[in-house]
Structure 1
Amino acid sequence: MTIPTIEYRGYELRAYSHQEFPLHRDPYAKGPRQFSSVVRIDNIQPNAGEPRRYATLFAATPTTASDAIDLAMQYGKDIVDGKVQASGL
């Protein structure tokens, strides 16, 4: 498994996604596939502090893992740029 990672303005962003199963967490249940994701923001400089983790907030629920990763990366960029005031996990 590869963890998508990018460098952005002195930070390293890593995104993780996982599938949310509808109805009692049953992987065989009928219904649309839904994914959630988490973005982790690390300072590139050593000893610069603890990494920060944020659950990604979506306007619409992504239906593929790659969509969830892309949205998590954009959310991380928005946090670094100061466009979003997010609370950490």
Structure 2
Amino acid sequence: MALEYAMQGLFSVKLDVFSFGVLLLEMIKHGESLLTLAWKLWFEGRSLELTDPSIKESCDAVQVVKCIHIGLLCVQEDPID
């Protein structure tokens, strides 16, 4: 949940985008703090490691990387980014 909504009840386009990004990442994650792990693996070029092992063999790796990229773009601190 976006901090501004949780703390102040403010709803915005940024909240929608943030939530969409988190949703995309949640669908493919496994393990620790999602956003921290996603950024770490992305910068290390190992983003596919976010994929849940139960679907790893049956999914399209290119599509998974695209979803991770979109998810990370959606959770930027600055909405313009």
Common fold: TM-score over 0.5 = no
Q: Which has the higher helix share?
A: 2
Q: Which has the higher strand share?
A: 1
TM-score by length of 1: 0.27
TM-score by length of 2: 0.29
Q: Max radius of gyration: which structure?
A: 1
Greater relative CO, 1 or 2 (CA 8 Å, sep 6+): 2
